[in-house]
Structure 1
Amino acid sequence: MHKLLLVMVLAAFALPARAADPLPRATPESVGLSPERLARIGAMVETEVREGRIPGAVVAIARRGKLAYFEAHGFQDGGRSKPMPRDAIFPIASMTKVLTGATLMSVLEEGRLSLWDPVSRFFPAFAEMRVVADGNPDSTVPAARPIRVIDLARHTSGIVYGNRGTTPAHQLWQRSLGGYSRMSGGDFIAAMAKLPLLHQPGTTWEYGLSIDVLGLVIEERTDKSLGEAMAERILRPLGMQDTGFVVPEGQRGRYATPLPKDPVSGQPQDVRVGLVTPGFEGGGGQAVSTAADYIRFAQMLLNGGTLDGKRVLSRKSVEEMTRDHLSPEIANNVTLTEPQLTNFGFGITVAVRREGGSDVLGSPGMFSWNGAYGTSMWVDPKEELAVVFMASTPGLIRQHYRRVVNALVYGAIAD
């Protein structure tokens, strides 16, 4: 009798799953969230749409393994003519990195590499890397130690994005690799190996092309393209059918586009990642996905590597991926890329919150990373919370939405 009563009570809290729901549905109240406060998210987006600052957005929030919020707001296209569907496809830019990190851990679990392997084990051209001396790329010194796989994964390789700085070294990188997405993987590696690193390996967190190299390491270890390895190990087991490196022709009508002009700078803006086949599948920023797909991925990480009874990664792999790998002697420049992530270290392709205060709400151990075109995600294990925000806002206004959505989500916790 008591078991029957328990089943009836639990059933009363559950909501029937919709056809496109990526996770089991639950009422917000049953997982400790306020529906009235969650409604502030939609109200915020709709206001931003009316005032011409954002085309629209799709938001997915899961708590305690249940989908408590999954809504689309505004418009899919920059011309604001087509209502935003919940299955809109977004270019996720650097949120690709986290997918690459998970794929790396899957390869590591098979003993195919170690986090401390030198990258020159896979690409001999990296054996004799040099480092800029005094900011002058014409004056270099030998690297004090090899770049290791862990350096690629946590951005301590000395590899940079040429367009993220104005030094002569950054300018050299931009001239050499500014169009890297059109290069073959082999040409990309050959060109990079000739450039001087900005920092000695293992000394400084510097955002750059490290994860693109990491994706090519995965290709070398698996004898498959990154997209094939990722699909086999992560995407297909999780049912992430709309995630990949090229949007199929028949699905391009679902691609979300930005406003024609940046609402802050007034400059023209356009994003076509995923609509053109790249020279190689860049693990650092060339994938597309949906909110539904990515919340399943985030929930898998929150669950310690499993979803729907399937184990995708071991619990220890997820723990290693999502712990802080920036030791005190490593210069931490995470806020130069994500200003709101104060007091965050870095794990394997994700920022990890440390003890103490921050510019965003959350708990120690939460992990996050975002995309330059307006997408964001975070997982808070202490709160059993996973959040995905998908929008096409490639300008700096994206940083505003990251703070606001963070505040609105945590403001809805009611238990």
Structure 2
Amino acid sequence: MMRRRGNGTGSETISRRNVLKGAGALGVAALAGCSRPETRDGTDASGFSQAGLERLHAAMAAHVERGDLPGVVTLLARGDEVHTDAIGSLGFGGAAPMRRDTIFRIASMSKPLAGAATMLLVEEGKLRLDEPVDRLLPELAHRRVLKRPDGPVDDTVPAQRPILVSDLLTLRLGTGAIMSPGDYPIVQAMNERGVGVGPELSTAPNAEAWLAALGSLPLIHQPGEVWMYDTGITVLGALLARASGQPLETFLRERFFEPLGMKDTGFSVPAEKLERLPTTYFRNPESGEFIVFDPPGKDSRFSQSPGFPSAAGGLVSTADDYLAFARMMLNRGAYPGGRILSEHSVSLMTTDHITPAQKAVSPFSPGFWDKQGWGYAVSVITRHEPGDPRGFGWDGGYGTSCYWDPETGLIGILLTQRTMDSPTAPAAFVDFWRSAYEALQG
């Protein structure tokens, strides 16, 4: 297998990939025997135990053997050491084998990249964290706010202040996902206008159309008062394009993807790389049947460039590409070619900016705020138990996860393409993070 770019001295896991002809083709023992991870020289690496890496492989292989996932790519890195494992296939029913360079839809793992891009523009003086977005996003000026979240869409009051750039980063702009049960007219209105929160990507022809639709609706809460998931980072994508004077993908490519060597990261997959794009599935909660959410190849929605790229969840990437970004963040803005962000910017990104009072009125998954806070477009882990990640990072709703941990130096990346059934971590996530930390030594 190809050595990770920029790592001329570290060890690399080599896996013989098992090709699954169906969800239950092989037993766990046979699967583990066909794809047992080992280091290039056959010895334990100083940062990880060989036994721990084998347990991680067995745990992930068991999910594939049970038919919970068609395939998975895992990556652990610590210092110069990188260990990868590709298990299963690109889809159920005899698809091609999973590969280390498989291109995954990373969904909300796009958010930390958007946060880093914002801080770069702040450093360059093109944005200020405390400035209203009105200068560049006039569509969102002079907001009105619902008198109550479940009230009529036309029952509003004026916003007490403008939306700030920092409100977008911290998801406190005043609109987003409503996690409480009930029939909310604003949710229906957002969905009808194509600005709702969910796994579907926007079909807006451009940022202007999407912003006009969002601007036609009131905010759900006053700016700065309540954390509401997702929408703030989508708005941030439009802001980044206007502040940089470039299309969002062009800006990200020139300032992040190319310097970091992220050659397979973008908002779509070129035709010559479509064979590396797996199928994405969701599971019918009643029947348990897996249903194709996004197909592979030319029929995938990711085979074409979007009209309005989603900074909140629209990127595709590989394990090695995302490792390059995570390493830059772990190194507080530095990378082998120099520096992308200042240490101060990374510190601001990885500081919990949500107050206890705001957490109390910002529901997400059960116990969410007991273990983490939210920085600038990135999760900040405040408490962890076995099976939890540590440090900073985020998950993706298509079944992906990445965190970097300054305390241990661990970077963990888990890539699947089974959409999450709920905001609560799937079993594969729990097994991955438990096994990843158990594999550490020294």
Same fold (TM over 0.5): yes
Partners of 1:155 and 1:206 within 8 A in 2: yes
SS of the counterpart of 1:250?
helix
Q: CA deviation at 1:260?
A: 7.6
Choose which of 307, 313, 320 in structure 2 pairs with 1:292: 320
The one-character-per-residue Cα deviations of 1:44-78 (angstroms, maximum 9, x if unpaired) are 22221121110111111111x22331111111123
Q: Residue 144 in 1 paired to residue 160 in 2?
A: yes
Q: CA deviation at 1:399?
A: 2.3
Partners of 2:379 and 2:393 within 8 A in 1: yes
Select between 238-247 and 108-117 the one with higher mean Cα deviation: 108-117
Partners of 1:151 and 1:201 within 8 A in 2: yes
Q: Residue 307 in 1 paired to residue 335 in 2?
A: yes
Q: What letter is aligned with 1:369?
A: W
Specify whether residues 31 and 152 from structure 1 end up closer, same or farther in structure 2 by C-alpha distance, changes over 3 A only.
farther
The corresponding residue for 1:173 is 190
The one-character-per-residue Cα deviations of 1:65-122 (angstroms, maximum 9, x if unpaired) are 2233111111112334211010000111111111111111111111101111111121
Partners of 1:76 and 1:83 within 8 A in 2: yes
* Whole-angstrom distance in 2 between the partners of 1:260 and 1:369: 20
Q: What letter is aligned with 2:263?
A: Q
* Whole-angstrom distance in 2 between the partners of 1:42 and 1:342: 30
Choose which of 253, 256, 261 in structure 2 pairs with 1:231: 253
Select between 286-295 and 266-275 the one with higher mean Cα deviation: 266-275
Select between 391-400 and 33-42 the one with higher mean Cα deviation: 391-400
Matches within 5 A, 1:44-55: 44-55=59-70
Q: Residue 243 in 1 paired to residue 290 in 2?
A: no
Partners of 2:202 and 2:310 within 8 A in 1: no
Gaps of 5+ in 2: 12-38, 295-299
Q: CA deviation at 1:194?
A: 1.4
Larger helix percent? 1
Select between 277-286 and 291-300 the one with higher mean Cα deviation: 277-286
Q: Residue 159 in 1 paired to residue 183 in 2?
A: no
The corresponding residue for 1:203 is 225
The one-character-per-residue Cα deviations of 1:1-49 (angstroms, maximum 9, x if unpaired) are xxxxxxxxxxxxxxxxx52424532368544321111212221222211
Choose which of 78, 82, 106 in structure 1 pairs with 2:120: 106
Specify whether residues 19 and 360 from structure 1 end up closer, same or farther in structure 2 by C-alpha distance, changes over 3 A only.
closer
Q: What letter is aligned with 1:186?
A: E
* Whole-angstrom distance in 2 between the partners of 1:191 and 1:22: 42
The corresponding residue for 1:11 is none
Q: Residue 380 in 1 paired to residue 405 in 2?
A: yes
Partners of 1:161 and 1:173 within 8 A in 2: no
The corresponding residue for 1:41 is 56
Q: What letter is aligned with 1:88?
A: T
Partners of 2:282 and 2:418 within 8 A in 1: no
Specify whether residues 173 and 259 from structure 1 end up closer, same or farther in structure 2 by C-alpha distance, changes over 3 A only.
closer
Q: Residue 57 in 1 paired to residue 82 in 2?
A: no
The one-character-per-residue Cα deviations of 1:315-364 (angstroms, maximum 9, x if unpaired) are 1111111111112332357771586674211001111022x45575455x
Q: Residue 396 in 1 paired to residue 421 in 2?
A: yes
Matches within 5 A, 1:262-273: 262=284, 265-266=288-289, 268-271=291-294, 272-273=300-301
SS of the counterpart of 1:95?
helix
Partners of 2:278 and 2:417 within 8 A in 1: yes
SS of the counterpart of 2:163?
coil
* Whole-angstrom distance in 1 between the partners of 2:45 and 2:397: 34
Q: What letter is aligned with 1:258?
A: T
Q: What letter is aligned with 2:438?
A: G
The corresponding residue for 1:322 is 350
The one-character-per-residue Cα deviations of 1:261-311 (angstroms, maximum 9, x if unpaired) are 558742623223422321111111111000110011101100111122421
Number of corresponding residues: 394
SS of the counterpart of 1:181?
coil
